[in-house]
């Protein structure tokens, strides 16, 4: 398999006022392979959205490299990105109400990437918009309407059609189903999965809902305070999670089974701020198996199984 997008020791810092910085990413190594879905999970401040945007070079990393389709794009100017990365990778946002221009007819919103990249004639573009609308499950007759006329689920289909316009190889979906009602969400998840089979698309699927991630992903990376703490094939991650944070995250998810008694919460406290991250292992202040040494060194990722790596120095305890 070939890597489409790669993060190499990626660091991202943002100014947070009064001379402070937010360390959104603190050394991430990750590759998105052709045709796969890589799930990114983590809580607020984990850096998962920042990572998605950095992989698309929508943000310029503070340190480290970003490679896209084999090329180092870390320092490329926007003009050069447009000829390569921007054509072959796309982003689907959480809230299509915010990502779509309210004044633009949805046909124009979907055609916009085609126009920017000067693809086809006006007639060809119109035909392609129609085909895209149909493919995402919308009646082409709605093409002339504006976003306000659509429900959240329909608008997310518009967002997906727009992302597909340039026939990308990889799509970053940032909480793309999180704001949708469950009955609508199911249809969008199915659509994402069907499109992957049809087009061989790769996804970076960022979500906080673990059940959604389990369903759609081939591999899952768990982020905590800007670091990947565990990366594994989806079955291994959900059946034999090794990092104490992954375990806590899985145990915290509500279980839709009224016969299972309510479990006491496994984690106390809240994720520390990425402005003042703890020393050593970022999880140690909340970790049930941490020892003094965990505050000293940042644990390295170790291989614990096929494609399964974990950043924890207490693996002998969490086995």
* By the rule CB under 8 A, 184 interacts with other proteins: yes
Is 249 one of the binding residues for other proteins (CB under 8 A)? yes
288 makes contact with other proteins (CB under 8 A):
no
Minimum separation from the CB atom of position 13 to other proteins (A): 21
- The C-alpha atoms of residue 198 and residue 207 are separated, in whole angstroms, by 23
Site string for other proteins, 73-112 (x = CB under 8 A): ----------------------------------------
In the list 3, 33, 193, 289, the residue contacting other proteins (rule: CB under 8 A) is 193
In the complex with other proteins, the residue whose CB is nearer, 66 or 210, is 210
For residue 248, state whether it binds other proteins (rule: CB under 8 A). yes
Q: Does residue 255 interact with other proteins by CB under 8 A?
A: yes
For the CB of residue 45, give the shortest distance to other proteins in the complex, in Å. Answer: 9
Tell me whether residue 128 or residue 196 sits nearer to other proteins (CB atom).
196
User: What contacts 198, CB < 8 A, 6 or more positions away?
Assistant: none
CB-based contacts of 208-215 (< 8 A; 24+ apart in sequence) = 208/41, 208/42, 208/43, 208/175, 208/178, 209/177, 209/178, 210/41, 210/238, 210/249, 210/250, 210/253, 211/253, 212/177, 212/185, 213/39, 213/41, 214/39, 214/238, 215/189
Report if residue 289 touches other proteins, rule: CB under 8 A: no
Pairing of strands 89-92, 170-174: parallel
Our finding on whether 70 is near other proteins (CB under 8 A) is: no
Residue 10 is given by DSSP the state E
Return the residues of window 18-47 that contact other proteins according to CB under 8 A: 43-44
Phi, psi (degrees; rounded to nearest 5) at 202:
-105, 145
In the complex, least distance from residue 314 CB atom to other proteins, rounded to whole angstroms: 19
Which 3 state secondary structure label does DSSP give 259?
A: coil
Indicate whether 58 belongs to the interface with other proteins (CB under 8 A): no
Question: Which range binds other proteins by CB under 8 A, 72-80, 81-89, 189-197, 301-309?
Answer: 189-197
* Position 234 contacts other proteins (CB under 8 A): yes
Distance CA 224, CA 271 (A): 8
CA–CA gap between residue 74 and residue 12 (Å, rounded): 12
In the complex with other proteins, the residue whose CB is nearer, 190 or 302, is 190
- Count of residues of this chain found to bind other proteins when the rule CB under 8 A is applied: 46
Q: Which of residues 119-178 bind other proteins (CB under 8 A)?
A: 151-154
Strand partners, 37: 203
> Which residues, 6 or more positions from 40, have their beta carbon under 8 angstroms from its beta carbon?
48, 51, 52, 204, 205, 206, 207, 220, 221, 223
Look up residue 175 and give its two tokens: 């909480």
Q: Is 187 in the site for other proteins (CB under 8 A)?
A: yes
Q: Min. distance of Cβ 238 from other proteins in angstroms? A: 9
Are the CB atoms for 52 and 59 separated by under 8 Å?
no
Instruction: Tell the smallest beta-carbon distance from residue 1 to other proteins (Å).
Output: 20
| For other proteins, the closer CB: 77 or 261 | 261
Q: Is 56 helix (H, G, I), strand (E, B) or coil?
A: coil
Which residues partner with 63 through β-bridges? 11
256 binds other proteins (CB under 8 A): yes
Task: Give the nearest distance from C-beta 306 to other proteins in angstroms.
Answer: 18
The residues of the shown chain that bind other proteins, judged by CB under 8 A, are 43-44, 151-154, 181-187, 189-190, 193, 208-212, 214-215, 234, 248-249, 251-262, 264-271
């Amino acid at each position: 398999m070939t890597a489409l997008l790669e993060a190499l020791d990626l660091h991202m810092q943002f100014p947070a006022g009064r001379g402070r910085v937010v360390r959104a990413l603190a050394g991430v190594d990750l590759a998105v392979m052709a045709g796969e879905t890589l799930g990114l999970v983590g809580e607020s401040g984990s850096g998962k959205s920042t990572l998605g945007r950095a992989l698309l070079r929508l943000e310029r990393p503070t340190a480290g490299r970003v490679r896209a389709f084999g090329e180092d794009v870390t320092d490329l100017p926007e003009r050069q990105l447009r000829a390569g990365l921007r054509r072959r990778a796309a982003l689907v946002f959480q809230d299509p109400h915010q990502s779509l221009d309210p004044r633009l007819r949805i046909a124009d919103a979907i055609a916009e990437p085609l126009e920017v990249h000067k693809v086809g004639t006006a007639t060809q573009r119109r035909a392609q918009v129609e085909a895209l609308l149909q493919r995402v499950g919308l009646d082409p007759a709605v093409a002339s309407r504006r976003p306000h006329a659509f429900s959240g689920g329909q608008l997310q289909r518009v967002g997906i059609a727009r992302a597909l316009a340039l026939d990308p190889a990889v799509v970053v979906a940032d909480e793309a189903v999180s704001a949708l009602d469950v009955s609508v969400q199911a249809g969008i998840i199915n659509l994402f999965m069907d499109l992957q089979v049809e087009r061989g698309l790769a996804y970076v699927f960022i979500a906080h809902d673990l059940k959604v991630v389990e369903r759609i992903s081939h591999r899952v990376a768990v982020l905590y305070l800007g670091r990947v703490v565990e990366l594994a094939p989806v079955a291994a991650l959900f059946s034999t999670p090794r990092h104490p944070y992954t375990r806590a995250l899985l145990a915290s998810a509500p279980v839709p089974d009224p016969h299972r008694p309510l479990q006491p919460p496994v984690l106390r406290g809240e994720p520390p701020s990425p402005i003042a991250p703890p020393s050593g292992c970022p999880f140690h202040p909340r970790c049930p198996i941490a020892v003094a040494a965990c505050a000293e060194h940042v644990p390295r990722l170790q291989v614990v199984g096929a494609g399964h790596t974990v950043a924890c120095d207490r693996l002998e305890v969490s086995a």
